[in-house]
Amino acid sequence: MSLDIKSVNIKPKRETFGHVARRIGEGKMASRYEEAVLDVQATANFHYRPLANPEFELYDVKKTAIVMEDWYKFMDPRQYHYSSYVIARAKQQEVAEQNFVFVEKRNMLETMPEEVKDLILNYVLPLRHYEWGANMNNLHLCAEGYGAAITSAFMFHAEDRLGIAQYLTRIGLLLSENDAVILSNAKQMWMDNGAWQPLRKAMEDTFVLKDWFELHIAQNVVLDAFIHPLYFNILEQELNSKGGSAQAMMTEFITSWNEECARWIDMTVKVASSESEENKELLNTWCKKYIDIAYLAVMPLAQKVLDNPEESMDEIKDALVTRLNKNGLNL
């Protein structure tokens, strides 16, 4: 007996959801990212204004002074939706795990000079509180922002910051051989040490910002652009020559994460500034304001940890200004 297997080609009636098809064009296949993000934001029928903030609707475009004709112009160049984000981070987590294993196996921390260890415990570890603040800020952005394209990216960004805080904690615990007292010491530094106070003030000032896009500029665009290059590029290169190369291995995730997120952050600035002259003016004012704040807030820390603080800080600032100008601003 012979079997004849026939195949029937059933053509799907539509390639994607109606609201996605209206944006990308009828009959085109949508990517998972487009289906996950496009027009997911609730736009109508809110009924009641929130008691906490009755000035605005529950989701309101007026919560920022930035005006966009279409909030879905902020499409993430990394195309992060749940699965692509989780897969990308899981891969990075594996690499980071390998690096920690390597450092432990080769006893790299035993050969690390005491003064390098002290510097990391006193002047790097307290950054976990900064990262936690950044986590809160991005959660706030996700809650207050408008348009699923940008709010979902804020949510992922918030989770990343928690991850970074955890990596920093882990480094501290490795250095202290799991003595948790170093965490309270680091918190003490963050709360009382003079060098940390300007940054703590700058951070806490961002907690009360009303305009969410301004908060995005302050936290993700400007403050991070000072803190991360200082700690995870310049400082680590200096530590390498002082016998602290293990630190660079353990923070590899943060460095590569930074490069990746820069693509998304640059896009947000570019899209908002190219929308209108008013947006551009606003972004210019905000960036100028926060670059000055960040410069002064981070300088005392740079003076504690770097060999040439002034020179390095100017370098960081110039790099940020060039980057922002490339994305449509004129600073």
Partner 1 sequence: MSKVFLALQAVEETRAIIEAIKEDNEHAVVEQQPAMTRVTAEGKLVVNAQTVSRYVGRDWDPQEIQLVLISLAGNVDEDYDHFTLYWEN
Give the CA dihedral 47, 52, 55, 61, nearest 10 degrees.
-70
- Least distance CB 93 / partner 1 (angstroms): 16
Shorter beta-carbon distance to partner 1: residue 31 or 233? 31
- Least distance CB 221 / partner 1 (angstroms): 20
Query: How far is the first Cα of the chain from the last one, in angstroms, to the nearest whole number?
Result: 80
Shorter beta-carbon distance to partner 1: residue 79 or 284? 79
> How far is residue 312 from each of residues 228, 245, 252, 308, measured CA to CA in Å?
13, 20, 21, 6
Shorter beta-carbon distance to partner 1: residue 10 or 181? 10
CA distance 132 to 286: 23
To 10 degrees, what angle do helices 277-305 and 114-123 make? 140
Q: Can you read off the two tokens belonging to residue 28? A: 């085109």
Cβ proximity of 315 and 233 under 8 Å: no
- Least distance CB 299 / partner 1 (angstroms): 36
CA 140 to chain centre: 13
CA distance 67 to 270: 14
Shorter beta-carbon distance to partner 1: residue 3 or 10? 10
Shorter beta-carbon distance to partner 1: residue 22 or 91? 91
Contacts with partner 1, residue ranges (CB under 8 A): 7-11, 29, 31-33, 76-80, 84, 88
Shorter beta-carbon distance to partner 1: residue 84 or 176? 84
- Least distance CB 33 / partner 1 (angstroms): 7
**How many other CB atoms sit within 10 Å of the CB of residue 3?**
4
- Least distance CB 177 / partner 1 (angstroms): 38
- Least distance CB 32 / partner 1 (angstroms): 5
3-state secondary structure of 90: helix
Shorter beta-carbon distance to partner 1: residue 1 or 10? 10
**HSE on the CB side for 28, CA within 13 Å?**
13
CA 267 to chain centre: 13
Q: Can you read off the two tokens belonging to residue 50? A: 């929130």
Shorter beta-carbon distance to partner 1: residue 81 or 317? 81
- Least distance CB 31 / partner 1 (angstroms): 6
- Least distance CB 34 / partner 1 (angstroms): 10
To 10 degrees, what angle do helices 127-144 and 148-175 make? 160
Closest CA to 147 of 63, 228, 86: 63
- Least distance CB 29 / partner 1 (angstroms): 6
Long-range CB contact pairs, 220-224, < 8 A, 24+: 220/134, 220/138, 220/157, 220/261, 220/265, 221/265, 221/268, 221/269, 221/287, 221/290, 221/324, 222/287, 222/290, 222/291, 222/293, 222/294, 222/320, 223/134, 223/290, 223/294, 223/297, 224/134, 224/258
Shorter beta-carbon distance to partner 1: residue 79 or 176? 79
